[in-house]
Amino acid sequence: MSDNPYAQPNDFAGGPEYLEPKTSILAILAFVVSVIGLIACCIPGVGPLGLLLGVLALVLISMSGGRKKGGGLAIAAIVIGLIAGAINIALIFGAAAAGREWSALGDVIESVEARDLQQTQGHLVSSQAQQLDQAQLDAFANALNADYGAMQARPQGVWELLMLVVEVGQSIEPMQLDVQQEYPAGQYSPAPLALPFDNGTVLFMLVIPSQGASSGRVLYNIAFEASDGSLVWLLPPPSGQGAAPVPSLPSGGASDPADPDGDGEGDEPGEG
């Protein structure tokens, strides 16, 4: 035994120092990221990131020569990351399909803009298609163009559609309530659609029946929010209020100064 009072005892008796394996910080991080990716599965990429970190952590742990532990956490991160990634993929494909379907609803507005009666009727349930005539279509399109000008290029992506909806977001709920006064919820669903026009973004409400719509014909009626906040309908709603006024044709009666005799024929030049 040494007489030096400052000497430190040798716990390892001259042998190699023993190091306790430490849990891999990367494995912990991978597990946390994967769990966040599973919980917030609407945020794409988080789950797959946890998966990649888990794989990297597992490789580094196996190469550490026993100095690192946490293989279970890394494997759990990989499994959870796979599940979260699968959910991300399903959501992405689902959102893309929904976006295409949502964007396709704008086809009817293009038909309205073109004053194409047959194509517009093709978007309506058969009972409503039979009621729509060219004069009603023209009146609706004229009212739309008088307020907002012509429609610009229609967006196709979900993100662009959502940005347009955000622009008119404050009008959606009041407009839906107005629509539901005409077409009760449960029987009909008002679907908002925002499209760019020369004079601003126009909010449309497409009334979709809950039942009875045959293939290719899904709409019951269409309304847009006029510049004064009122609704303008393509077809008269149940209350009869809000349909675009159809200009009356000259009757050719006695009140027509060009046909004072009321026989539908005007005077020839030079006749008294």
* 99 and 169 housed in the same domain: no
Q: What is the DSSP letter of 243?
A: B
Claim to verify: residue 128 and residue 36 sit in the same structural domain: no
**CA-to-CA distance for 11 and 18, rounded, in angstroms?**
11
Task: State whether 135 and 27 are in the same domain.
Answer: no
Specify if 244 maps to a domain.
no
Considering the domain architecture, whether residues 72 and 175 belong to the same structural domain is answered as no
Helix (H), strand (E) at residue 195: strand 188-197
Which of 103, 126, 149 terminates a domain? The answer is 103
Strand partners, 51: none
97, part of any domain = yes
Sign of the C-alpha dihedral, residues 73, 75, 76, 78? positive
Residue 6 resides in a domain = no
Residue 125 sits in the same domain as residue 224: yes
Question: Which neighbouring-strand residues pair with 196?
Answer: 201
Domain assignment of residue 266, yes or no? no
Among 191, 168, 166, smallest CA distance to 180 is for 191
Q: Which domain holds residue 70?
A: 22-103
* Residues 228 and 194 occupy one common structural domain: yes
**What is the predicted pLDDT for the residue at 254?**
41
236 three-class SS:
coil
Residue 158 lies in a domain: yes
Residue 91 domain flag: yes
Collapsing DSSP to helix, strand or coil, 149 comes out as coil
Structural domain count of the chain: 2
- Same-domain status, 56 and 140: no
> Alpha-carbon distance 201 to 151, whole Å?
9
Q: Say whether both 166 and 120 belong to one domain.
A: yes
Q: What is the pLDDT of residues 147-190, one digit of tens each?
A: 999 988 777 666 676 777 787 788 888 888 889 899 988 888 88
Pair 78, 159 in one domain:
no
Position 14 in a domain: no
Domain end point (choices 48, 70, 103): 103
What amino acid occupies position 174? P
Cα 91 to Cα 52, 156, 177: the distances in Å are 20, 18, 30
Domain boundary among 103, 136, 161: 103
How far is the C-alpha of 74 from the C-alpha of 77, rounded, in Å? 5
Does residue 242 form part of some domain? Answer: no
Distance CA 23, CA 32 (A): 14
pLDDT of residue 189: 85
pLDDT for 13 equals 46
Instruction: Examine the domain organization and report whether 202 and 229 are in the same domain.
Output: yes
Q: Would you state the pLDDT for residue 3?
A: 59
Shared domain check, 119 and 99? no
66, 217, 221: which is closest to 136 by C-alpha?
221
pLDDT in tens, the chain (272 residues): 555 555 555 544 444 455 688 888 888 898 898 888 888 776 777 888 888 888 888 888 888 878 888 888 888 888 888 888 888 777 766 666 555 555 567 788 889 989 999 999 988 988 898 999 999 999 999 999 999 999 887 776 666 767 777 877 888 888 888 898 999 888 888 888 888 899 988 889 889 887 754 444 588 999 998 888 888 999 999 988 888 887 665 544 444 444 445 454 544 444 44
* Same domain, residue pair 125 and 226: yes
Residue with tokens 């004072």: 260
